[in-house]
Every structure is written in C-alpha cells, then in structure tokens.
Amino acid sequence: MTLIELHDVSKRYFLHHKRQLLVEHVASTLRRERNSFWALRHVSLKIEAGEAVAIIGPNGAGKSTLLSIAVGVTSPTEGGARLHGRVAALLELGSGFHPDLTGRENIHLNAALLGYSRQQVHASLESIIDFAGVPDFIDEPLRTYSTGMLARLGFSVAVHLEPDILVLDEVLAVGDEEFQRKCIDRIFEFRRQGKTLLFVSHSAEFVRSLCRRAVWLELGRVKMDGEASDVLAQYRAGTQAFLPVGGGVTTG
Amino acid sequence: MLRTSHDHLYILYNLIAKDFKIRYRNMSLGIFWSLLNPIIMVTVLTFVFTRIFNNPAIHSYPLFLLIGLIPFNFFTLAWASGTNSILDNAALVKKVRFHREVIPISVVLGNVIHFLIQMVLLMGLMVFVGQGVNRYWLWLPVVLGLEIVFACGMALAFSALDVYYRDTRYVVESANLVLFWLVPIFYSLDQVPREFTILYQFNPLAAVVLACRRIFLDSMPPPESLLRNLTLVSVSALAAGLVIFGQMKKRFADYL
C-alpha cells in the first residue's frame, strides 16, 4: 500500500524583498511581475508501507519543502500529494510546542494536534516523559529547555504515539551520543513493526544505518532515487566534483 | 488521514486550555481581570452619562450599561484575538497538520468562557437588585448562541486575511472602536433619530444588545424580525467565514 504519493509536484514560492504597501501590491499584481522561485520541480515519489526513505541533498535543494508537502502542512503549486495513515512529523526542533507551556502540557497539546485521543495520551504519558529523560524539567516551561532537551521531548512524543509514518527533518543531530543511540534503537524498533520512515539527513552514517532507499534532491529536482548506498556514493562523488582538484578545503 | 469529530473536540479543548494557561500564568489576579474590566467601564461610563450628560429616561443606568457592555466586549475581544490567532499560532500551522479552522474557533470559544461567567454574574445581579427572573430568559441561549456563531464567522474570515495582509488587525481594532459608538451600549435605540435607525437594522451586535435588554429589563421576548435578521446575518457570516478561510488556508504555511 502506498502511504505517501507525490505526483509531479512543483512548489513555487514568491519572494518579497520588502513588505509591500497596498499600492505597490496591487500594482505588482496587476503587472503580474513578482519574483518567484521553484523550490520543487516535477517531483514524483511513492513511498510504500514499511519503507524507510532518506532524502539527501545540499542546502536549498528542497528537502524540507518536500517533507512539508508530503505531510500535508503546505500544498503543492502544481501536481498532487496524497497521504494515507497517521503521521507524526518532526519538521523542526520543538515544532508544535509552545514556549510558555510546560513539557507536560506541551505533550498533551502536541499529541492532540497529531490526532490522538485523551486515553491514548494518558496511556503513553509516562513512557514519553521517561524516554525524553528530562524528569526535572517536565513541569517547567519549555523556554527553559536546552536545544538538546527540546529535541528529546519532540522525538519522544513523535515516536511514542505509534504513528504509521514517522517524518524527521534533521532533528537527531542536536542530541548527544547517548540520546542519538536511543533514538536509533527506537527507530529500528519502529521499523521492525513494519512502519514507515521518511527523513532528511546530512549524515551518511544515519542514512546508511536506517534506510534502504535514498532520494537525492538537487535544485528542486530528483537527481537520483534508489539503493541508499548507491545514491550516497554518487552524491558524494557529485559533490566532490565541485571541489577544485587537490581539495580546496583543508581538513584537520 | 481520517479524524473523528471526537478528535477535533480534543484538539479544541487543548487549544483553549493552552490559551488560558498562557494568558493567566504569571498573573496574580488571573481570571479576575476579565471581571475587573467591565466593572471599571461601568463605573466610568455611569459617571459620564449620569453626572455629566444626563440620561433621566434610562432607569438603573449601570444595569442598562452592563447588559450592553458584556455582549459587546465578548464580540470585540473574540473578533480581535480571533483575527490574530493564525499568526499567533504560526509555529503550529507551519509544522503540524490539522484542520486550521479549529484555531480561530478555539480562540472565540476561549472568550465564550469569560462571556458566560460574566452573563451568569449579570443574572445574579438582576436577581439581587430585584428585577427577578422571567421566562424569556430562555431566549438568552438562542441570542447569545447566534452572537457566538457570528463571532466565529468573523474570526475565521479575518484570521485568514490577516495572514496575507498584516494590516487586518489594525482594521479590526479601529472597527471595534467605531462599533462602541454605533452599538447602543450607553444610549438606547429610542434616542436614535428615526432616519438613522437603518444603521442598526442589520448590525448583529445592536440586535444582541437590544434583545438582551428586552429580555432583562422589559421582561419581553425579542421581536421576531430581530431574531430573523440576527439568524440570517450570523449564519451567513459563519458560512462566508468558512468559505474564505477554506480558500485561503491552503497557502498559510507559505506566508507565515
């Protein structure tokens, strides 16, 4: 069964160099001249139930836009996007969290927004708090949390509510090693249950260990879609080709 | 993704609870602020309109005022905070998928809680001063319900507009200031010259205030024509609000 289906999706964003006054706005609308760019162009993607797919590509390739469209937060300018099943998406650190609410209150709010009932939330509340590993802060407002703690809580909520699809946008990177390992274990468990994973990462290691399939995006188009190790190898070769011979970047 | 209405109720409940907690956390007087405001307004307005401008035609002026002020305050607060609601919750709209309509509606319903507390206290006050209960009080849920429907419609339409045109909130603020004078709050409709009554014919807020005064002060049911117009305007406002919001919500995430 196809859980996520993007059919020939394009997404155009308009650029506003400065906030327009009404007069200029009307004038430019009438002249039909607005600066725009295509974040995605003719992207088609099918993700079947049980698949784990990584999206890779340089900054500005359209990875986050792709995830936003896949989970239905924004709609494509052209083409169609369809989503089946319950999705838990972590598109950004602390997304859907409110800084003035406590950790516990945010768990309730977030879970409700993700579509869970009061019973389901109460059933998993303890394990969410436990997994996040921030017991002393759970009744403190979120603005007192460190970046790592936000990542922990967000991830914990997303994985404990048993979604059909887990969508992650480069959110593991901020956790410490111990938490990353915990997350990866949890994702493996999630995968063993035959559930679907879609995630963006710049870490070849994460991609290789979690995904069979990888999609390489560049300038809004799918450059390659296939076996993760092949795509990673090509991607690496491709990016290295841009560097001057002899390696213009000094490492060490 | 299918969601039952029960899930939506739970989202609604959580969003209302969120607004409440955020609003009253770190406030020592908490929810009493919502009672303090009408008391201060009634005191000042009573002073101005009984001591400076004389209003001998109106008996028990503070009650008369309060009956107008409570529904008016509810609407202006609901409309203004509803208008800001999508921008205020930009983080949710950009990152979590759910029916966006629940955001402005939850803000309106959050204001309904204050509204109802104030109405209950008003009823207590009516009994306390000896005006007594009459059977036409049964019309109150209908009239107030229609006002809430109207407020939801306005909040939906203007919250969507506010995403694209950030000036919207100032338009709403100014409109609320004007409305204070154009809704018969501190004067009665009888004092308005006949040629201007047209201004009040299709103003749902004026209708709500008039209906409440008829019920509380005259012990009479609201006129049928008033109820008909109020229903018409409120239901159309909700329908228009839902259509406008439904059209504009598709690109919210791009503009936040």
- One pLDDT digit (tens) per residue for chain B, 256 residues: 445 666 788 889 989 988 888 887 777 777 787 788 889 999 999 999 998 988 888 888 999 999 999 999 999 999 999 999 999 998 888 888 888 999 999 999 999 999 999 999 999 999 998 877 889 999 999 999 999 999 999 999 999 999 988 889 999 999 999 999 999 999 998 888 988 888 888 899 999 999 999 999 999 999 999 999 999 999 999 999 999 999 999 888 888 8
Q: Determine the distance in angstroms separating the CA of A136 from the nearest CA of chain B, rounded to an integer.
A: 20
What amino acid occupies position B6? H
Separation CA B44–CA B80 (nearest Å): 23
Give a yes or no: residue A249 inside a domain: no
In chain A, residues with a C-beta closer than 8 Å to the C-beta of B99 are none
Give which of B203, B169, B168 is closest to B184, Cα–Cα.
B203
Nearest CA in chain A to B99: A113
On the CB side of A249, CA atoms within 13 Å amount to 7
Give a yes or no: residue A198 inside a domain: yes
Residue with tokens 């709403």: B172
Separation CA A217–CA A12 (nearest Å): 16
**The domain spanning residue A207 has which CATH number?**
3.40.50.300
Nearest CA in chain A to B10: A112
Give a yes or no: residue A250 inside a domain: no
Question: Into how many domains does chain A fold?
Answer: 1
Asked if residue A217 lies in contact with residue A55, where contact means CB atoms within 8 angstroms, the answer is yes
Q: Determine the distance in angstroms separating the CA of B76 from the nearest CA of chain A, rounded to an integer.
A: 25
Structural domain boundaries, residue A116: 2-25+36-241
Question: Into how many domains does chain B fold?
Answer: 1
- C-beta atoms of A75 and B15 within 8 A: no
Separation CA A188–CA A192 (nearest Å): 6
Q: Determine the distance in angstroms separating the CA of B78 from the nearest CA of chain A, rounded to an integer.
A: 21
- C-beta atoms of A89 and B94 within 8 A: no
Structural domain boundaries, residue B41: 5-255
Give a yes or no: residue A247 inside a domain: no
- Residue B251 burial by Cβ neighbours in a 10 Å radius (0-12, 13-18, 19+): middle
B253: nearest CB among A68, A101, A110: A68
